[in-house]
Amino acid sequence: MNNTKLSEAQSLELITSMIQDSRKRLAQNSGTPFLVWGYITVAVSVFEYFVVANGWSWMWAWMWFAIPLLCGPIMMLVIRKQETGAKNLIDRTISAMWSVLGISTLFLYLLAVAYGVSLFSLIVLGMSIGTLTSGIVLRENATKCCGAFAMLASAIFPLMHIFKCGEPATQILIFAAIFVVMMIIPGHILNYKTKKR
Amino acid sequence: MLRELNPLLHSELRLAIMSILISVESADFVYLREQTGATAGNLSVQIDKLQQVGYIAVEKGFNGKKPRTTCAITEQGVAAFTEYVDALRSYIGKGL
């Protein structure tokens, strides 16, 4: 590209292509944070399922903290690797929202482990708000649907408590299954769509 | 009557820089070079021209130990760009 004068039509074409190319580049790999949090949460949940199902020591409950401890540094590496050199409002809004949700969830984890109470419902509700909002901001229907599904699914845990059904181990498996729908599926869809563009 | 096109924006590289900056909050020099495919020297000259007329703001800093030049469009730049696009539309509308 140099300093040549353009015709009016060429100018409009250039403006359109520059804006579109820039948007595509910024949207690349937007599903990766979903995959990092999704896969690690599911892996830890499955491990915790075996802990509870086999009656191992409650000390293993601290393993839940492996989720933020692993995801934090991995996300820092991902962010550094994906840095494009440009910032836009959508990026800033989504990352600020996930940071706030992440901190809130960390407190919920702390409460859950310290007091031995199940806060799966609140954690799923918080994360589903993040997924649904990301889907709305990114205008991605599958992500919106997965977020909305998870939001409704967060009601399963209080219902199980009210009707006194479902062992703690079963609740952990349901929690993991919701995370598959809420984080892993939208993550792959977002990455596939941005690569396809 | 057709409006005159802003000569400062009616150049391929300067228009590309402004188009990128209008769609982001800020972009660094490397990003602009990669997106436009321009040489570093030429890009630097055009960024200076846009900065001198107040269309973009340039901030020089560091990313770790590496120097980093970040550009962002100014309000004056947004107004000039909008006016330029409106003028272009009037040309296209007249069938040119």
pLDDT above 90: residue A57: no
Question: Are B25 and A9 an interchain contact pair (Cβ–Cβ within 8 Å)?
Answer: no
Cα–Cα nearest to B75, from B52, B55, B58, B96: B55
> ipTM score of the complex?
0.79
Q: Which helix (H) or strand (E) holds B67?
A: strand B66-73
Q: Which helix (H) or strand (E) holds A86?
A: strand A86-87
Mean pLDDT by 10 residues, chain B (96 residues): 78 92 90 91 94 94 86 94 88 63
Model confidence over A136-193: pLDDT tens digits?
A: 988 889 999 999 999 999 999 888 888 888 788 899 999 999 999 999 999 999 988 8
Question: Are B35 and A12 an interchain contact pair (Cβ–Cβ within 8 Å)?
Answer: no
Q: Which of B11, B24, B28 sits opposite A88 (nearest CB)?
A: B24
Question: Are B24 and A86 an interchain contact pair (Cβ–Cβ within 8 Å)?
Answer: yes
Question: Are B11 and A87 an interchain contact pair (Cβ–Cβ within 8 Å)?
Answer: no
Per-position b or e across B20-50, b if 16+ CB within 10 A of its CB: bbbbbebbbbbbbbebbebeeeebeebbebb
| Residue-range domain boundaries for chain B | 12-93
B5 vs A contacts (CB less than 8 Å): 8, 11
| Residue-range domain boundaries for chain A | 31-79+89-196
Q: Which of A9, A15, A89 sits opposite B15 (nearest CB)?
A: A15
Model confidence over A9-52: pLDDT tens digits?
A: 888 888 888 888 877 777 777 888 899 999 999 999 999 999 98
Name which of B3, B31, B70 to mutate to probe chain A: the one with the most chain A Cβ atoms within 10 A of its Cβ.
B31
Shortest alpha-carbon distance between residue B68 and chain A (Å): 10
- Find out whether A133 and A100 touch, Cβ atoms under 8 Å: no
Query: Does the domain at residues B12-93 carry the CATH identifier 2.60.40.10?
Result: no
Q: Which residue of B has its CA nearest to A8?
A: B88
Shortest alpha-carbon distance between residue B60 and chain A (Å): 14
* Residue B66: per-residue pLDDT: 84
How many angstroms separate the CA atoms of B47 and B50, rounded? 5
* Residue B96: per-residue pLDDT: 46
Shortest alpha-carbon distance between residue A168 and chain B (Å): 47
Question: Are A4 and B27 an interchain contact pair (Cβ–Cβ within 8 Å)?
Answer: no
Question: Are B27 and A6 an interchain contact pair (Cβ–Cβ within 8 Å)?
Answer: no
Name which of A5, A14, A22, A80 to mutate to probe chain B: the one with the most chain B Cβ atoms within 10 A of its Cβ.
A22
A15 vs B contacts (CB less than 8 Å): 15, 19, 85
Model confidence over A58-86: pLDDT tens digits?
A: 788 888 888 888 988 998 888 888 777 77
* Residue B82: per-residue pLDDT: 92
Shortest alpha-carbon distance between residue B76 and chain A (Å): 18
* Residue A153: per-residue pLDDT: 94
The crossing angle, in degrees rounded to 10, of helices A120-138 and A168-179 is: 10
Question: Are A11 and B42 an interchain contact pair (Cβ–Cβ within 8 Å)?
Answer: no
How many angstroms separate the CA atoms of B78 and B76, rounded? 5
* Residue A39: per-residue pLDDT: 96
**Cβ atoms < 10 Å from Cβ of A26:** 20
* Residue A64: per-residue pLDDT: 85
Percent of chain A with pLDDT over 90: 33
Question: Are B20 and A6 an interchain contact pair (Cβ–Cβ within 8 Å)?
Answer: no
